[in-house]
Amino acid sequence: MSKTFSKDAVASHNKGDSLWIVIDEDVYDVTKFQDEHPVLQRVAGKDASKQFWKYHNEGILKKYKAQLQIGSLDTKKVVEPTPASAPEPKKAAPVAQAAPADYKPAATSEPQDPYGDLIPFADPSWYQGYSSPYFNDSHAALREEIREWVDTEIEPYVTEWDEAKNVPDKIYKQMGERGYLAGLLGVKYPEKHTPYRVKSVAPERWDLFHEMLLTDELSRAGSGGLVWNLIGGYGIGCPPLVKFGKKELVDRILPGILAGDKRICLAITEPDAGSDVANLGCEAKLSEDGKHYIVNGEKKWITNGVWADYFTTAVRTGKPGMEGLSVLLIEREAGGVSTRRMDCQGVWSSGTTYVTFEDVKVPVENLIGKENQGFKVIMTNFNHERIGIVIQCVRFARVCYEESMKYAHKRRTFGKKLIDHPVIRMKLAHMARQIEATYNWLENIIFQCQCMDETEAMLKLGGAIAGLKAQSTQTFEFCAREASQIFGGLSYSRGGQGGKIERLYRDVRAYAIPGGSEEIMLDLSMRQSLRVHQMFGMKL
Ligand code: HEM
């Protein structure tokens, strides 16, 4: 913004037909905005910084700056930012470095440069100048690339999208073009099936910590609906296709999916079968000529179903129980597939859907895995799904904590700032200790996954991942509640300063119930871990 104005010049624009204000030495022409926001007339021609920061957070400026700012005061000094200051100047996004010949994914213990706002515990410790055995320069570069995108093109609009119960298609398309969809499959970067690359990380360097970081940074926008819109159906619907689908099927449909042109979802849950997967009833009967399955049945609470072209669907092809299940890739254009949006408590922009299959003809080539061995496909997928849920929950808990910490530093009650009340510090401390404990367990699990193949991970880590899922949803719920108490009425009404907290509080159950409810997860964590450790030779 190159134009500068004197204080006197701004002061002369103090009437309805030309209304300027100053915020942090930047000049805003709010003439056209005053009908929507009449309070501005009270500060016409004046410095309104104090009043502005009392009632808004930085999200408002991110959204309106480009539209309303016309310049700065001529007294404004250009400050050279220090590395620790935020928001940081926009740098050109880093470019992928090809891995050197002797590259090993093992990370360095050298700390990365401090990054972000440096509020203690509001980001993982490796962001804040502490050493990490897992994250290296390629992760730092990816973090910057995603954060810039989320800060400028996503976060300012998330509330609007949530209210509209959708996210513009162009954002999903960008997920494909930026190479992010291809990086979210829990496997090596699928170079053969997409021309798109992640700008800051070479495909051969891509690992599970990059994948974790992608989901984590997307979750900073503080909306489960946004994250599920972008990766909710894809992140659980596509991996089974890639890992267990036949080559011809994968070659035919995967490129369109990775490009963000086609959408895929996972259809397992039914009106009468949720966590109790082995009991599902959607039926697939082989045709007499053995070329097709004919599918009839219903699926409920299917994320992204309203927009999906493909449904990775659990069906019954054999006897009752887990040994009669198979997984089919159902294509909407086959006909007989109808979808309707469901109204839910949270994750509004995720497109929760009721799906009906009526005599849908599915070629046998679309069988994912083997007939009647679908339970293994479903179980393998659960680990990936649950880890995704954990990453989101930990970041959402951090968002609740970070927003509370910022608000506690400006809101005054009984003559002092909230942060100066011990009872508020106690709340923040309880939030931080749970966030850090959960996050550090998550990092360990990601590292274990990186050291094992799928089957070994399903067996050995299934119990721990189930326990961690419950830990993360309870941490999220706790932090949403405590943040809500700190924000008071502002988190009870929608939008505004407490808007993220109100939305996240509504999203909590969407994490605590699907992917295995807390109760089932905690029980499984014991059953599975005991079974595995018995095989290890556990002595009791
Ligand atoms: C560039 C200037 C401004 C913009 C773009 C702006 C925008 C907004 C928006 C979009 C809201 C709705 C709630 C939200 O999303 O946060 C809002 C609320 C509000 N604004 Fe502003 N505003 C500006 C300046 C000001 C100033 C200078 C004042 C005070 C003199 C002010 C006082 C308020 C108040 C009292 C609320 C209601 C807060 C609440 O419900 O808790 N605004 N503003």
Give me the interface pTM, i.e. the ipTM.
0.96
Res 85: pLDDT: 45
CA–CA separation, 18 and 32 (whole Å): 9
- Reported confidence tier of residue 301, pLDDT bands at 50, 70, 90: very high
Q: Which residues have C-beta within 8 Å of that of residue 41, sequence separation ≥ 6?
A: 16, 19, 34
Amino acid 522 reads L
CA distances from 297 to 80, 271, 283 (A): 62, 10, 6
- Indicate where the chain has its CATH 1.10.540.10 domain(s): 125-258
Mean pLDDT over residues 293-312, rounded?
A: 97
Instruction: Confirm if 297 and 357 have CB atoms less than 8 A apart.
Output: yes
CATH architecture of structural domain 382-536: Up-down Bundle (1.20)
- Written as one string, the DSSP assignment of 287-303 is -TTSSEEEEEEEEEEEE
CA–CA separation, 139 and 131 (whole Å): 13
Instruction: Confirm if 400 and 501 have CB atoms less than 8 A apart.
Output: yes
CATH superfamily ID and name for 264-374: Butyryl-CoA Dehydrogenase, subunit A, domain 2 (2.40.110.10)
**CATH number 3.10.120.10 is the correct assignment for the domain at 4-73:** yes
- Reported confidence tier of residue 92, pLDDT bands at 50, 70, 90: very low
290 burial (CB, 10 Å; 0-12 / 13-18 / 19+) is exposed
Instruction: Confirm if 315 and 284 have CB atoms less than 8 A apart.
Output: yes
Instruction: Confirm if 279 and 244 have CB atoms less than 8 A apart.
Output: no
Q: Which strand (E) or helix (H) includes residue 413? A: strand 412-413
> Which among 37, 43, 58, 68 is the best mutation to test ligand 1's pocket, defined by most ligand atoms within 8 Å of the CB?
37
Ligand 1 in reach of 68 Cβ (< 6 A): yes
Q: How far is the CA of 148 from the centre of ligand 1 (A)?
A: 25
Instruction: Confirm if 213 and 142 have CB atoms less than 8 A apart.
Output: yes
CATH superfamily ID and name for 125-258: Acyl-CoA dehydrogenase/oxidase, N-terminal domain (1.10.540.10)
Instruction: Confirm if 341 and 351 have CB atoms less than 8 A apart.
Output: yes
Structure tokens at 246: 């036949």
β-bridge partners, 354: 340
Residue 514 backbone dihedrals phi, psi, to 5 degrees: -70, 170
CA–CA separation, 33 and 257 (whole Å): 41
- Indicate where the chain has its CATH 3.10.120.10 domain(s): 4-73
Helices of type H across 220-299: 224-227, 233-244, 247-258
Q: How far is the CA of 56 from the centre of ligand 1 (A)?
A: 6
Q: How far is the CA of 55 from the centre of ligand 1 (A)?
A: 6
Per-residue model confidence as pLDDT tens digits over 382-417: 899 999 999 999 999 999 999 999 999 999 999 999
Structure tokens at 363: 């070629």
Per-residue model confidence as pLDDT tens digits over 198-240: 999 999 999 999 999 999 999 999 999 999 999 999 999 999 9
| Nearest CA residue ID for atom 15, ligand 1 | 496
Per-residue model confidence as pLDDT tens digits over 466-493: 999 999 999 999 999 999 999 999 999 9
> Which among 26, 28, 55 is the best mutation to test ligand 1's pocket, defined by most ligand atoms within 8 Å of the CB?
55
Pairing of strands 416-417, 264-267: unpaired
| Percent of the chain's residues with pLDDT above 70 | 94
Q: How far is the CA of 187 from the centre of ligand 1 (A)?
A: 46
Burial profile 72-101: b = 16 or more Cβ within 10 angstroms, e = fewer: bbeebeeeeeeeeeeebeeeeebebeebee
Res 57: pLDDT: 87
Q: Which residues have C-beta within 8 Å of that of residue 131, sequence separation ≥ 6?
A: 109, 110, 111
- Indicate where the chain has its CATH 2.40.110.10 domain(s): 264-374
β-bridge partners, 267: 313
- How big is the CA angle at 515 (ends 511 and 520), to the nearest 5 degrees? 100
Res 17: pLDDT: 93
Residue with the two structure tokens 């509370």 = 404
| Nearest CA residue ID for atom 28, ligand 1 | 52
Task: Provide the 8-state DSSP code for 97.
Answer: B
Ligand 1 in reach of 61 Cβ (< 6 A): no
> Which among 14, 33, 56, 61 is the best mutation to test ligand 1's pocket, defined by most ligand atoms within 8 Å of the CB?
56
Q: How far is the CA of 52 from the centre of ligand 1 (A)?
A: 7
| Nearest CA residue ID for atom 5, ligand 1 | 64
